[in-house]
Structure 1
Amino acid sequence: MRSRFSAFGVGDAGYLLRTWHPSTRPPGVDLGGGLRWTRLEVLETTGGSAFHTEGTVRFRAHYVERGEAGHMEEHSRFARHGGDWVYVGAV
């Protein structure tokens, strides 16, 4: 989760696509739009250990857009794919 937030922050669309589950991965990611991601709060997690194949992360991501602070929240589902944790989608 944290690495994907960082990828949004630096505009690394390739990393975001590589860490997205193939069953839900879009053909591309548009990182334009003028958002500057500033902080991530992980609010809750389930699963996600070395013994799990699925997990969830509830988070709040803070941003600045046109000088105005804002945030978005999501409860995300992750799964192991090829041994790596990948984003599946919102719960």
Structure 2
Amino acid sequence: MARPTSTPTCPCGLPAPYEECCGRYHSGAAAAPTAEALMRSRYVAFTRRDAAYLLRSWHPDTRPPVIEFDPGLTWTGLEILGTSEGTAFHQSGTVTFRARYEDGGRPGALYERSQFLRVGGAWVYVDGEFIQ
């Protein structure tokens, strides 16, 4: 008897498969409805080294010309620590998160408070403040 196959959950930490979660934002099939959803999808884009999505979801005033990925860095988990505004009823929002990684086999974490704005109805990342 064949065993059922399970689809792995999205790296953003939500219990849905990638294709039904952040994958639909990456492909352009849907737009992230909240600042938190955009934050999660951007984290997943970093795990997948999807520079095109990261640039597309970055505010034009703060977007870098290119994104270079560190080949020794592997993202290993995302934890949303808090949100402020950032829903369909807001024009701006803040997401505070911890992203875990391994760099050359050494574990680490990035703590950041990220700012998001809605531009033309779509959420975009503006900038972030590192938290010690």
| TM-score, with length taken from structure 2 | 0.67
Partner of 2:92: 54
How far the C-alpha of 1:33 sits from its partner, in A, is 3.7
Instruction: Report percent identity of matched pairs.
Output: 55
- 1:45 maps to which of 83, 96, 118: 83
How far the C-alpha of 1:34 sits from its partner, in A, is 1.3
Partner of 2:119: 81
Instruction: Report runs of 4+ in structure 1 exceeding 6 Å deviation.
Output: none
Query: CA-to-partner distance for each residue in 1:29-65, whole Å, 9 max, x for gaps?
Result: 1113411001000001001111100000010000011
Partner of 2:50: 12
Q: Distance in 2 between matches of 1:83 and 1:30?
A: 28
Structure number with bigger Rg: 2
Q: Bigger relative contact order, structure 1 or 2, given CA contacts below 8 A and separation 6+?
A: 1
Q: Which protein has the bigger helix share?
A: 2
SS at match of 1:31: coil
| TM-score, with length taken from structure 1 | 0.96
Partner of 1:34: 72
User: How many equivalent residue pairs?
Assistant: 91
Q: Which protein has the bigger strand share?
A: 1
Give the counterpart letter for 2:65 in structure 1. P
Give the counterpart letter for 1:56 in structure 2. T
Query: Can you give the 5+ residue segments of structure 2 that lack an aligned partner in the other structure?
Result: 1-38
